[in-house]
Amino acid sequence: MLFKNKMSTPSAPTPSTPEIITTAAEMRVWSRRQRLAGKRVGFVPTMVISMKRRAKKFFRLACFSFLPIDRSISFSQPRPPLLSSASNLQGCLHAGHLSLVDLARTKADVVVVSIYVNPTQFAANEDFGRYPRTRERDRSLLAERGVEAVFEPETLYHRSTDSNDDNANVVGTAAEESDDAHDTFVVVERLSRGLCSLSRPHFFRGVATVVAKLFNVVEPDVSVFGEKDWQQLAIVRRMARDLDFAVKVLGGEIVRESDGLALSSRNELLTAGDRRRAPCIYAALKEAKKMVSGSPSVTAGEVAGVVKTRIEAAYDSGFSPPPPPPPPKVDYVSVVDADSLSPVPDDVAISSRKGRRTLVAVAAFFGEVRLIDNMVVAG
């Protein structure tokens, strides 16, 4: 099985003197000045942006992901301009994020990466405070990739509390109820139902809201998000269409470890035993695709059943000392239309969906760590 090269690097950009930008207003001025110079701006929310020169006097932006970083790091290469109002920023970039930077590089003239762990995507009982942050490493990786700018906001929301609690500004806490708290949210109604929203009801409201804010600040033309978060990608595309953002949203392929595990910052939280068992998700998805290609009569319900069984049966025979950790707990296995995210009825043969792509999406807990993955199995 071939996997996307995790560390492939595009041709190096022309070195430039980095510019430090500290506010959203300065970010807008920076982008508009580039357009006046005849450049195209790209934006990746981690977030990352890329720009390519064109004859026309405007910018094109590409957008990918968000994560926050530490200013003490020194760079051996020219340092990207820091677009930040924070002194304590955080993040955890991996090769999947960097592949989005590479894709942005092919679509625009300059690449801007925003790094921000978005609190409104977490519920009060989730792992916002434990989400991995590797600040110095993130900056170093982006410098090696030749990123032109890094946007590192301490927060993109009005802070209604001075609490140091990691969850103080997470959706669902008392802080949200204060009179001057952030009070405007974006909801993509139908695509936000099902899949991950069943166990994380706040998540996609947070995604749509923070991406809308970033689009307004950076004003990109092209935005790149990873396909591992398939529902998120679909929601951002629909939001950009429905709210008339002048942004083309692109999807970047899933980047995997050599054993098939989809790259994620949360992988760093897995125990050794759970890390050995986690590739069972990808193995189950491959088996689902093989079932669909091998039998015209296999139904969505049969595929979902096999995937769920394979994951729950994962056993780490090399675990020592015994007993092994408990088996993975499946959050969901869903067979859906890849574009509308509408569930495929259990009794429908997948091969009967002529001209439609069918996606199998999975979320499962390994200990306390929730992992997601997906695969288009037909169409």
Domains of the chain: 24-252 (3.40.50.620), 270-378 (3.30.1300.10)
Strand pairing report for 110-114 and 48-51: antiparallel
pLDDT, position 334: 97
- pLDDT single digits (tens) 57-71: 333 444 444 333 333
pLDDT, position 317: 52
Q: Looking at per-residue confidence, does 121 or 292 come out higher?
A: 292
Distance (Å, whole) CA 61 – CA 99: 17
CA 256 to each of CA 155, 279, 285: distance values in angstroms, whole numbers, following the listed order:
30, 10, 13
> 327 pLDDT band (50/70/90 cuts)?
confident
pLDDT, position 208: 92
Two structure tokens written together for 18:
């980095």
pLDDT, position 61: 44
pLDDT, position 174: 46
> 117 pLDDT band (50/70/90 cuts)?
low
pLDDT, position 147: 82
Two structure tokens written together for 272:
């050794």
The residues assigned a catalytic role are 97
Q: Which of 169-173, 271-275, 296-300, 358-362 has the lowest mean pLDDT?
A: 169-173
> 15 pLDDT band (50/70/90 cuts)?
very low
Q: Looking at per-residue confidence, does 22 or 221 come out higher?
A: 221
pLDDT, position 146: 83
pTM: 0.78
